[in-house]
Amino acid sequence: MTTFETPTPTVDPAETAETPKLHALIAEFETPGEVLKAAEKVREAGYRWWDCCTPFPVHGMDGAMGIKPTILPVMVFFAGLTGLIVAFILQAFTNSTGASIWALVWVTGYPYLISGKPLLSIPAFIPVMFELTILFAALTCVFGMFGMNGLPRLHHPLLANDRFRRVTDDRFYIVIEARDPKFFRSRTEAFLDSIGAVAVEEVQD
Protein backbone atom coordinates (compact mmCIF):
# COMPACT_ATOMS: atom_id res chain seq x y z
CA MET A 1 0.00 0.00 0.00
CA THR A 2 1.36 3.37 -1.01
CA THR A 3 1.09 6.25 1.46
CA PHE A 4 1.25 9.87 0.52
CA GLU A 5 2.58 12.51 2.86
CA THR A 6 1.17 16.01 2.81
CA PRO A 7 4.03 18.34 1.88
CA THR A 8 4.97 20.82 4.57
CA PRO A 9 4.45 24.33 3.23
CA THR A 10 7.55 26.45 3.21
CA VAL A 11 7.10 29.93 4.63
CA ASP A 12 9.39 32.77 3.89
CA PRO A 13 10.67 34.13 7.25
CA ALA A 14 10.37 37.64 5.82
CA GLU A 15 6.64 37.11 5.39
CA THR A 16 6.14 36.01 9.01
CA ALA A 17 8.01 38.95 10.46
CA GLU A 18 5.85 41.81 11.59
CA THR A 19 5.68 44.69 9.19
CA PRO A 20 7.10 47.82 10.84
CA LYS A 21 4.41 50.29 11.74
CA LEU A 22 4.66 53.70 10.13
CA HIS A 23 5.21 56.38 12.74
CA ALA A 24 5.45 59.52 10.63
CA LEU A 25 6.73 61.25 7.53
CA ILE A 26 9.55 63.75 7.91
CA ALA A 27 10.17 66.59 5.49
CA GLU A 28 13.60 68.22 5.35
CA PHE A 29 14.17 71.94 4.76
CA GLU A 30 17.43 73.85 4.39
CA THR A 31 16.67 77.27 5.93
CA PRO A 32 14.62 78.69 8.83
CA GLY A 33 12.57 80.76 6.39
CA GLU A 34 11.57 77.70 4.38
CA VAL A 35 10.47 75.67 7.40
CA LEU A 36 8.58 78.68 8.78
CA LYS A 37 6.55 79.10 5.58
CA ALA A 38 6.01 75.34 5.37
CA ALA A 39 4.73 75.25 8.96
CA GLU A 40 2.10 77.86 8.09
CA LYS A 41 0.91 75.71 5.17
CA VAL A 42 0.75 72.55 7.31
CA ARG A 43 -1.33 74.43 9.88
CA GLU A 44 -3.65 75.78 7.17
CA ALA A 45 -4.03 72.26 5.76
CA GLY A 46 -5.61 71.20 9.05
CA TYR A 47 -3.09 68.69 10.37
CA ARG A 48 -3.19 68.20 14.14
CA TRP A 49 -0.46 65.69 15.08
CA TRP A 50 2.68 67.30 13.73
CA ASP A 51 5.74 69.19 14.91
CA CYS A 52 8.72 71.21 13.77
CA CYS A 53 12.24 70.17 14.77
CA THR A 54 15.03 72.73 14.41
CA PRO A 55 18.64 73.03 15.62
CA PHE A 56 17.83 76.36 17.30
CA PRO A 57 14.70 78.38 18.15
CA VAL A 58 13.12 79.97 15.08
CA HIS A 59 11.47 83.34 15.74
CA GLY A 60 7.77 83.27 14.87
CA MET A 61 7.47 79.47 14.84
CA ASP A 62 4.80 79.36 17.55
CA GLY A 63 2.57 81.65 15.53
CA ALA A 64 3.23 79.78 12.29
CA MET A 65 2.28 76.48 13.93
CA GLY A 66 -0.75 77.96 15.67
CA ILE A 67 0.43 76.86 19.10
CA LYS A 68 -1.97 77.97 21.82
CA PRO A 69 -1.08 78.66 25.48
CA THR A 70 -1.29 75.59 27.70
CA ILE A 71 -2.98 75.23 31.07
CA LEU A 72 0.42 74.83 32.77
CA PRO A 73 0.72 78.51 33.88
CA VAL A 74 -2.69 78.26 35.56
CA MET A 75 -1.62 75.08 37.34
CA VAL A 76 1.59 76.74 38.52
CA PHE A 77 -0.31 79.77 39.83
CA PHE A 78 -2.73 77.71 41.92
CA ALA A 79 0.09 75.46 43.14
CA GLY A 80 1.96 78.56 44.36
CA LEU A 81 -1.21 79.84 46.00
CA THR A 82 -1.65 76.48 47.72
CA GLY A 83 1.92 76.65 49.03
CA LEU A 84 1.27 80.17 50.37
CA ILE A 85 -1.85 79.07 52.23
CA VAL A 86 -0.22 75.91 53.59
CA ALA A 87 2.74 77.91 54.90
CA PHE A 88 0.47 80.42 56.63
CA ILE A 89 -1.70 77.76 58.25
CA LEU A 90 1.37 75.78 59.35
CA GLN A 91 2.97 78.77 61.06
CA ALA A 92 -0.28 80.04 62.53
CA PHE A 93 -0.92 76.64 64.10
CA THR A 94 2.59 76.11 65.43
CA ASN A 95 2.46 79.55 67.09
CA SER A 96 -1.09 79.28 68.43
CA THR A 97 -2.12 79.71 72.07
CA GLY A 98 -5.25 79.00 74.01
CA ALA A 99 -6.45 82.54 73.31
CA SER A 100 -5.94 82.41 69.54
CA ILE A 101 -8.60 81.59 66.98
CA TRP A 102 -6.57 78.62 65.77
CA ALA A 103 -7.10 76.92 69.14
CA LEU A 104 -10.76 76.62 68.20
CA VAL A 105 -9.70 74.17 65.49
CA TRP A 106 -6.60 72.70 67.09
CA VAL A 107 -6.76 71.82 70.79
CA THR A 108 -3.06 72.38 71.37
CA GLY A 109 -0.31 74.32 69.67
CA TYR A 110 3.27 75.24 70.27
CA PRO A 111 3.30 78.73 71.76
CA TYR A 112 6.83 80.14 71.65
CA LEU A 113 7.60 83.75 72.43
CA ILE A 114 10.58 84.74 70.28
CA SER A 115 12.12 88.23 70.41
CA GLY A 116 8.87 89.75 71.55
CA LYS A 117 7.09 89.03 68.26
CA PRO A 118 3.32 88.38 68.33
CA LEU A 119 2.25 84.76 67.88
CA LEU A 120 0.27 85.64 64.75
CA SER A 121 2.73 87.82 62.85
CA ILE A 122 2.44 88.05 59.05
CA PRO A 123 5.84 89.79 58.60
CA ALA A 124 7.54 86.98 60.52
CA PHE A 125 5.75 84.39 58.38
CA ILE A 126 6.88 85.86 55.04
CA PRO A 127 10.14 83.84 54.56
CA VAL A 128 8.44 80.46 54.98
CA MET A 129 5.40 81.54 52.95
CA PHE A 130 7.71 82.68 50.15
CA GLU A 131 9.71 79.44 50.19
CA LEU A 132 6.67 77.15 50.08
CA THR A 133 5.07 79.24 47.34
CA ILE A 134 8.18 78.82 45.19
CA LEU A 135 8.54 75.13 46.08
CA PHE A 136 4.97 74.18 45.17
CA ALA A 137 5.04 76.27 41.98
CA ALA A 138 8.42 74.93 40.84
CA LEU A 139 7.53 71.28 41.42
CA THR A 140 4.22 71.69 39.59
CA CYS A 141 5.97 73.41 36.69
CA VAL A 142 8.63 70.72 36.29
CA PHE A 143 6.47 67.62 36.74
CA GLY A 144 3.54 69.18 34.87
CA MET A 145 5.84 69.87 31.91
CA PHE A 146 7.15 66.31 31.97
CA GLY A 147 3.64 64.89 32.11
CA MET A 148 2.25 67.03 29.29
CA ASN A 149 5.24 66.23 27.07
CA GLY A 150 4.97 62.49 27.70
CA LEU A 151 8.35 62.37 29.42
CA PRO A 152 10.50 60.65 30.46
CA ARG A 153 10.82 58.63 27.24
CA LEU A 154 13.99 56.61 26.73
CA HIS A 155 13.62 56.28 22.96
CA HIS A 156 11.80 57.99 20.11
CA PRO A 157 11.40 56.63 16.54
CA LEU A 158 12.87 59.82 15.05
CA LEU A 159 16.21 59.14 16.76
CA ALA A 160 16.71 56.00 14.63
CA ASN A 161 16.43 57.90 11.35
CA ASP A 162 19.80 58.71 9.78
CA ARG A 163 18.59 61.81 7.97
CA PHE A 164 17.07 63.25 11.13
CA ARG A 165 20.49 63.36 12.82
CA ARG A 166 21.23 66.65 11.08
CA VAL A 167 18.50 68.33 13.14
CA THR A 168 21.16 69.21 15.70
CA ASP A 169 23.38 70.75 13.01
CA ASP A 170 22.04 72.53 9.93
CA ARG A 171 18.71 71.04 8.85
CA PHE A 172 15.08 71.79 9.70
CA TYR A 173 12.29 69.21 9.75
CA ILE A 174 8.53 68.99 9.79
CA VAL A 175 7.15 65.72 11.18
CA ILE A 176 3.56 64.66 10.44
CA GLU A 177 2.54 61.62 12.46
CA ALA A 178 0.60 58.71 10.98
CA ARG A 179 -2.06 58.96 13.70
CA ASP A 180 -3.21 62.32 12.35
CA PRO A 181 -6.83 62.09 11.04
CA LYS A 182 -5.79 63.76 7.76
CA PHE A 183 -2.77 61.53 7.24
CA PHE A 184 -2.76 59.47 4.04
CA ARG A 185 0.63 58.11 2.97
CA SER A 186 0.62 59.22 -0.66
CA ARG A 187 -1.33 62.44 -0.19
CA THR A 188 0.74 63.60 2.75
CA GLU A 189 4.00 62.87 0.95
CA ALA A 190 2.81 64.79 -2.10
CA PHE A 191 1.73 67.66 0.14
CA LEU A 192 5.14 67.84 1.83
CA ASP A 193 6.83 67.85 -1.57
CA SER A 194 4.58 70.67 -2.71
CA ILE A 195 5.51 72.96 0.19
CA GLY A 196 9.20 72.89 -0.66
CA ALA A 197 10.71 69.90 1.16
CA VAL A 198 14.06 68.84 -0.28
CA ALA A 199 13.46 65.28 0.94
CA VAL A 200 10.61 63.27 2.46
CA GLU A 201 11.18 60.02 4.32
CA GLU A 202 9.23 57.47 6.31
CA VAL A 203 9.94 56.91 10.00
CA GLN A 204 9.03 53.47 11.29
CA ASP A 205 7.75 53.01 14.82
The radius of gyration of the chain's CA atoms, rounded to the nearest angstrom, is 30
pLDDT of the residue at 98 = 43
Angstrom distance (rounded) from CA 68 to CA 28:
25
pLDDT of the residue at 4 = 47
pLDDT of the residue at 113 = 63
Angstrom distance (rounded) from CA 50 to CA 42:
9
* Per-position pLDDT tens, the chain of length 205: 444 454 444 444 444 456 678 999 999 999 999 999 999 999 999 999 999 999 999 999 999 999 988 999 999 999 999 999 999 988 877 776 444 454 445 444 555 666 666 667 788 889 999 999 999 999 999 999 999 988 888 888 998 889 999 999 999 999 999 999 999 999 999 999 999 999 999 999 8
Q: Delimit the domains of the chain by residue range.
A: 21-68+159-204, 72-148
Burial (Cβ within 10 Å: 0-12, 13-18, ≥19) of residue 52: buried
Pairing of strands 172-177, 22-29: antiparallel
Domain covering 21-68+159-204, topology: Alpha-Beta Plaits (3.30.70)
pLDDT of the residue at 19 = 65
H or E element in which residue 109 lies: none
Residue at 41: amino acid letter: K
DSSP assignment letter at 189: H
pLDDT of the residue at 54 = 95
Angstrom distance (rounded) from CA 39 to CA 43:
6
pLDDT of the residue at 39 = 95
